[in-house]
Amino acid sequence: MRKLILFFIAVSLGLTMTSCLDGNQNFSESNIVYIDQASGVIYGKTLNGRFITSDKMMLMEPGTFKFFHYNWEESYGYTPIGGNVNANKVGIQGDVVDIKDTFLRMTPVTEVENPLYFTEIRRPAFDSEGVYFGDKWLFEYYFMGKEGETPVVTFNKRNTTEQYPDEIKIDIRLSKTGTPKEGATEKAMGDLIAVDMRALRQMYAGQNKDVNIKFYYYVKDREELLESQVYSMKMKSSAQ
**Residue 39: C-alpha distances to residues 34, 47, 97, 164 (Å):** 17, 22, 26, 36
The domain containing residue 89 runs over which residues?
Answer: 2-98
Over 70: is that where the pLDDT of 220 sits? yes
pLDDT of the residue at 235: 86
Q: Which of 98, 127, 148 is the last residue in one of the domains?
A: 98
Same domain, 155 and 58: no
Same domain, 91 and 168: no
Over the Cα atoms of the chain, what is R_g? 19
Q: Which of 68, 83, 98 is the last residue in one of the domains?
A: 98
Looking at residues 97-125, what average pLDDT do you find?
Answer: 94
More confident residue, 128 or 14: 128
Closest CA to 92 of 67, 61, 64: 67
pLDDT of the residue at 1: 44
Looking at residues 6-32, what average pLDDT do you find?
Answer: 57
Same domain, 208 and 154: yes
Band of pLDDT at residue 7, cut at 50, 70 and 90: very low
Cα gap 162→207, rounded to integer Å: 14
Band of pLDDT at residue 13, cut at 50, 70 and 90: very low
SS3 55: helix
pLDDT of the residue at 2: 52
Closest CA to 133 of 63, 57, 59, 55: 63
How many residues can be counted in the chain?
A: 240
Same domain, 61 and 175: no
Same domain, 144 and 42: no
Closest CA to 65 of 47, 81, 53: 47
